[in-house]
Amino acid sequence: MTTPPPVPGPLSTPMPDPRSGGIALDYGGMHALVSDLVLPRGASMHVMSAMETARELIRHSFYRYEFATVAVTHSLLALEHVLAERLGASDPLHALIRRATDAGLVPAALAAELDRGRLLSDRLTRGAVSSAALGPARAAVMVRAVFDAVDLLLRPLPTAETTATAGGARPVGGLARLWEEHRRALFPEGFRGVGFDGVDLVLLDADVAGLVRGELDGGLDDGGIASLWGRIADLDKVVPLINEEYGASYFTRLRTMAQVAVAPHTPAAI
């Protein structure tokens, strides 16, 4: 005669993860952290599911700290899907973010935050960081950037009348703001004298800054444009290799600023 398995006892109540302490007094308090993560209208079920799951993972990080990092990586599934659909492209995520920025669909500052999430996901894939890389508060900031970007990308394209500038002048306000942010930021001290893949980071920073300043002061000539494209290629190589948070943020912003500066000189797609 087969003996039936024992009847399981009542499930134990999940215990708060002590690493998430200080975020909320109890699980209900996690609602304040995600209350502004509102699902955008017009998203597909695939996108809505990924975004809602990311939001709930942050909420449940009260019980499991690692859920916060997973929330960021899961939200990128929605971002990549919406970007690919809006741009009609199947490029890697970093290229889709860049194209959306160049096209004016996503502000440069928001794109920089999205790229920080992408870099985290890349480092997680390579085993450079663990799933405990982020706490709930920082994860909420990154996931909020995805929610904001998806909301913008789902809006109708602006008409020619709404995007025209007075006298046909090139819009430089976004570049000027990025330049001011970069000018006030301290160079990451630990990266002086450091090079990645043959690229000296101090010289890279100085070169990009000089070229951006030239664009703001009246526009780059053909040689300056070519040089800036070359430095963007260098940034594309080195940024994924930087696994220190402030350094990654600094050079991600530098790359975004360079991309915004060169965007007016990018030939329109035929």
Asked if 142 contacts 116 with a C-beta cutoff of 8 angstroms, the reply is yes
- 78 to each of 72, 83, 89, how far by Cα in Å? 11, 9, 15
Q: How far is CA 239 from the centre of its chain?
A: 13
Structure token digits, residue 100:
């959306």
Among the listed residues 187, 192, 184, 264, the one whose alpha carbon sits nearest the alpha carbon of residue 228:
264
The answer on pLDDT for 167 being more than 60 is no
- Please report which confidence band the pLDDT of residue 163 belongs to, taking 50, 70 and 90 as the band edges: very low
Asked if 143 contacts 54 with a C-beta cutoff of 8 angstroms, the reply is yes
The answer on pLDDT for 169 being more than 70 is no
60-78: average pLDDT = 95
Among the listed residues 99, 178, 110, the one whose alpha carbon sits nearest the alpha carbon of residue 144:
110
pLDDT for the residue numbered 147? 92
Q: What is the rounded CA–CA span in Å between residue 74 and residue 50?
A: 6
Please state which of the ranges 63-67, 156-160, 163-167, 229-233 shows the lowest mean pLDDT. Answer: 163-167
**Residue 199 in 3-state DSSP?**
strand
pLDDT for the residue numbered 166? 35
Please state which of the ranges 11-15, 125-129, 135-139, 229-233 shows the lowest mean pLDDT. Answer: 11-15
pLDDT digits (tens, 9 = 90+) for 107-152: 888 889 999 999 999 999 999 999 999 999 899 989 999 999 998 8
The three-point CA angle 138-140-145 to 5° equals 105
Q: What is the rounded CA–CA span in Å between residue 67 and residue 136?
A: 8
pLDDT for the residue numbered 11? 65
175-190: average pLDDT = 81
Per 3-state DSSP, the chain is made up of helix, strand and coil in percentages (nearest 5) of 65, 0, 35
Residue in this structure with the two tokens 């009609």, named with its chain if needed: 88
The answer on pLDDT for 171 being more than 80 is no
pLDDT for the residue numbered 125? 92
Residue 195, strand partner residues = 200
Among the listed residues 151, 164, 184, 143, the one whose alpha carbon sits nearest the alpha carbon of residue 58:
143
Number of H helices, E strands in the chain: 11, 2
Q: Give the list of residues 6+ apart from residue 142 with CB closer than 8 angstroms, or none.
A: 72, 75, 113, 116, 117, 120, 134
User: How high is the mean pLDDT of the chain?
Assistant: 83
96-110: average pLDDT = 86
pLDDT for the residue numbered 47? 92
Looking at per-residue pLDDT, the higher value among 197 and 43 belongs to 43
Residue 51, strand partner residues = none
Among the listed residues 163, 185, 174, the one whose alpha carbon sits nearest the alpha carbon of residue 251:
185
Looking at per-residue pLDDT, the higher value among 250 and 80 belongs to 80
The answer on pLDDT for 188 being more than 70 is yes
- Please report which confidence band the pLDDT of residue 160 belongs to, taking 50, 70 and 90 as the band edges: very low
The answer on pLDDT for 176 being more than 70 is yes
- Please report which confidence band the pLDDT of residue 156 belongs to, taking 50, 70 and 90 as the band edges: low
Q: Give the list of residues 6+ apart from residue 81 with CB closer than 8 angstroms, or none.
A: 44, 46, 47, 50
**Residue 174 CB: number of other CB atoms within 10 A?**
18
Please state which of the ranges 3-17, 102-116, 135-149, 207-221 shows the lowest mean pLDDT. Answer: 3-17
Task: Using a pLDDT cut of 70, give the percent of the chain over it.
Answer: 87
The answer on pLDDT for 165 being more than 70 is no
**Residue 200 in 3-state DSSP?**
strand
The backbone region for 198, taken as left when phi is positive above 0, alpha when psi lies in -120 to 50, beta otherwise, is left
pLDDT for the residue numbered 172? 45
